[in-house]
Amino acid sequence: MTKPISIAIIGASGYTGAELIRILLAHPHVKIAKLTGDSQAGKEVGDVYPHLRFKGLPKLISLEKLDYNGIDLVFCCLPHGTTQSVIAAIPEHVKIVDLSADFRLFDTDVYAKWYGHVHKAPDLQLEAVYGLTELVRDEIKSARLVANPGCYPTSVLLPLMPLLQAKMIESEGIIIDAKSGVTGAGRSVKQANLFTEVNEGISAYGIGNHRHSPEIEQGLTFAAEKDVIVSFTPHLMPMNRGMLSTMYVKMRGRHNVDELRITLQKQYSFEPFVHMLPPDATPSTQQVRGTNDCVIGVFADRVAGRAIIVSAIDNLVKGASGQAVQNMNVMFGWPETTGLQLSAVFP
């Protein structure tokens, strides 16, 4: 057995950081060497997350105390806008999987427009690989910096990109109605995310201007080979984790839903984490809770010539930490399923 690589998690006190720890504890080729969490520096991980107590994990330290000597890979789980300068200071021998939005958009002007400030590391942006693993794994193999996709884009791009590339659906008029658990908003205290604010209710947010919109459109534009603009509305659901995206598309020519389903089945038939459901089965978040899976269903709309595509993922796993580990596996030449053979938690 080869010597495990040493990894550091920057921002380990957040939900994605904690989920990375949970997954990596079962990974045979990884040693968790350093964990940063400025707001919790000096504490044991088990004091912040009791479910991770008794795991022999290093204490949380501040970012300024992180020494990269001996570190092979860093997972960066900081909020957008704070990551570019941090990653720019990481030594070149260290590989990086960034879970923020800071390197997902190829065009730095588009980034500035949507995130409200100039990109602070444009040279690094040029070398970043967008890590939608199933569709760009060859580029990930040789990458030093992988920009882990957002949760909503992952749930949308996996089903729609192959259909656009096959010219089976129109690029105009795509409508995306997506729903996510509260963990998608992060762990910081916000009034809108208090139990009494979220429980027993559903609310739309980021209507017409959610920051995942340009990331979704970037992927669809690449697949369609023409500019794509979508109508995308996310919703907050009274649940901890999970994401369900419902996409309404117009089929091209005489294509039908069976052909769409067959195309996606062929695309993902050998993929360990993307699964097409039979025609009579509907995707649900319960099917993927705690896993790195994405399940997809294709259905006929009552409107002639239109199809309804539904996908479900766990926003913390396939939508964040699980896909990050999957990308790490590709970067180091390990089987993609290593450490990720997770069964859904039910009920």
Residues with catalytic roles: 151
Gap between the Cα atoms of 187 and 347, Å rounded: 24
Gap between the Cα atoms of 196 and 38, Å rounded: 28
* Alpha carbon of residue 140 to chain centroid: 15
The type of residue at 120 is K
Contacts with 161 (C-beta within 8 Å, 6 or more apart), sequence order:
135, 219, 220, 222, 223
User: Nearest-CA neighbor of 101 among 148, 134, 143?
Assistant: 148
Gap between the Cα atoms of 3 and 277, Å rounded: 39
Gap between the Cα atoms of 246 and 77, Å rounded: 27
Gap between the Cα atoms of 102 and 76, Å rounded: 11
Helix (H) or strand (E) holding 84: helix 83-88
Contacts with 115 (C-beta within 8 Å, 6 or more apart), sequence order:
80, 81, 101, 211
Helix, strand, coil percentages, rounded to 5, for the chain: 35, 20, 45
The type of residue at 203 is S
How many CB atoms within 10 Å of residue 160? 27
DSSP state of 169: B
- Spell out the alpha helix ranges (H) of 166-284: 195-198, 213-224, 257-268
Cis? peptide before 149, omega within 30° of 0: no
> What residues pair up with 177 in beta bridges, in sequence order?
233, 246
Q: How many residues are present in the chain? A: 347
Gap between the Cα atoms of 287 and 285, Å rounded: 5
